[in-house]
Structure 1
């Protein structure tokens, strides 16, 4: 075999190997593959085939598009939305979502774009419109003070819009930021409310303490009155029972038999005077 023929075979084998590598790919379980035809006026819009595993195709007439089916996290550039009255709020959203299995072909038919381009254009528009529409139903104060309700409404709109496009909503972080001037006004208002509540609580506590003191004082005064009334009653009973005869009998009962005397010269006399019957 001549050197020229060997060279031709070598080039042919090389080209065949290159063609083989270019016409073979694999789609793993975490992705959804679709085989798209390049032939025809619709350029594959109606000729799409879902494929998995090892795929052989003619790169001159078709190509393989792959969409991941696991969770995707997209951090969008910040944007502003307006509440009622035109007050602007900053939104810096981060979206978690995934492609619904079996929807890859529909997504490609609808947008004919790779996923990064779909995120930067289609999904960003969906996210922006959801925040814009919901924010317009809130006043500035209610938007700041009811962020949970605001985000629940946004998530509801996102869930429906993404489902219509073949995606499943997981969660989103809004990072809602009001204007500095509005935040300062709200902070001042909240501080005033908190101070008023604290003063009300302090007044209530002092009133309760005063009522307790009055109750204690009333109890002590009542106790003293009862004690005085009892003592007066006892003294009254004593006065009624201590007759002269009873006093003399008590004295005799305690007498030890000695006669008290007084010295008046040489005479003596007793101090006892018996009652005359």
Structure 2
């Protein structure tokens, strides 16, 4: 018997949700989709202003926190006829990045980064910035979006950096009916597990009605994350155990979930 036989899994993802559902089905489980990521809103005028600012000033560090943000700035630069200048200036700067999607975008542009957070977290990136003994007064171009952007800027400023915050896009909230339905299914413990593929989904879920949802996760609903960043966001909410795969891949996440149930919770670990 496969580990997901008879299990009901909630899927909080939007992108690639069908693929996740298929993997669950292949392991004899059933799934329900609750797309709570929210949609991207591209801030075109803001992005163009940010590109202009970037082109006219030298920065000691350029922090790119998301692949979407980097691409949005590139598109904004192209829209004002400065794409080549934008890419050229990036090649002359010290680029620090958070994760693989940004690394993939850099590779497409034949750009190289100075340093990437090995675990994909901002905490690791900030710890790297903290180690710069000459950081006082150094300038940072921080690309972020409307989740934790103010906290990131404040953390860098407290270290002594002069920070320019670029927010070329933001997340719009998800459908409140879908969000409410997922919360009800969790609190009623109608789901055996919920899989999350981004910290944005976690932020949306816990935007209110916090404690009943946490309590359900800490009783009988298994919180499952695609990787460390998402797992950390769940743990920050007070969830005592979050299942995650060793490699941050969607397929590996479902394999870890199946193995968790097949081998029993007493053997649960990072797979």
TM interval, shorter chain, is under 0.3
Higher relative contact order (CA 8 A, sep 6+): 2
- Which has more radius of gyration? 1
* TM-score computed with the length of structure 2 as normaliser: 0.20
After TM superposition, the score normalised by the length of structure 1 is 0.20
